Amino acid sequence: METLSFDLAQESLRSVNQRLHGPSETLAGCRVEIHNPDGAHNIAVGLNAPVEVTIHGHAGYYAAGMNQQAHVRIEGSASTGVAENMMSGRVHVAGFASNGAGASAHGGLLVIEGDAGLRCGISLKGGDIVVGGSVGSFSAFMAQAGRMVICGNAGQALGDSLYEAVLYVRGTIASLGADAQIEPMTESDLQVVGDLLNQAGLQHDPQTFKRVASARTLYHWNADADQEY
């Protein structure tokens, strides 16, 4: 397997990203090492090749955004919007992920070993997110499809205005958002949680998780509700 090594202390991020945007067939199977990221924004964005990327340190805004096919590992924390609009592949954050992690992800798997900030999984559209720690308020706001596994606690208004996404929470929930409700775990849910935990390399008993899904009362406008949901 060919290894490409880049040092952001010596070369520009633009040139590195341009190299990673080369023809998919030439990058397929490559291992990419990015050193000295120093919190730079937009590292490894828009990848569209089956390539393995390791970022050795902390990443700034929108790391691995719009990812397709690539497996990206951040050996540190990530700022706002990590794996935003991910289509496929895998993004793994070894530390903390700031606001909006996995926002609008259509596919793929985002793993966050530590905690995640506000609005994790906002407008999720089909991707999977596994958080080893806790998530901040308004996580999974307007999440339309996909699954989130939260191994710690959840902040306020979890799952506000949920559509068809399903959330699994092991810890406490500060409050549920509008139209979100706790439902019984089924055998299918237990299998889903166990599989996602296994993919993330986390060991928890799926039976200790709660299922949160939409009550579907917001699907149709109710003029008599007087904005009370």
The pLDDT tens digits of the residues spanning 9-23 come to: 999 999 999 999 999
pTM comes to: 0.95
State the average pLDDT over residues 132-158. Answer: 98
Beta bridge partners of 93: 74, 112
Distances (CA, A) of 130 to 71, 90, 111: 15, 11, 5
pLDDT for residue 221: 67
pLDDT in tens, 60-94: 999 999 999 999 999 999 999 999 999 999 999 99
> Could you tell me how far CA 80 lies from the centroid of its own chain?
11
What is the pLDDT confidence band of residue 225, given thresholds at 50, 70 and 90? low
pLDDT in tens, 165-192: 999 999 999 999 999 999 999 999 999 9
What is the pLDDT confidence band of residue 219, given thresholds at 50, 70 and 90? confident
pLDDT for residue 195: 98
State the average pLDDT over residues 134-148. Answer: 98
Whole-number percent of the chain with pLDDT over 90: 91
Domains and CATH numbers, the chain: 39-48+55-214 (2.160.20.60)
pLDDT for residue 63: 98
pLDDT in tens, 32-48: 999 999 999 999 999 99
* Position with higher pLDDT, 26 vs 224: 26
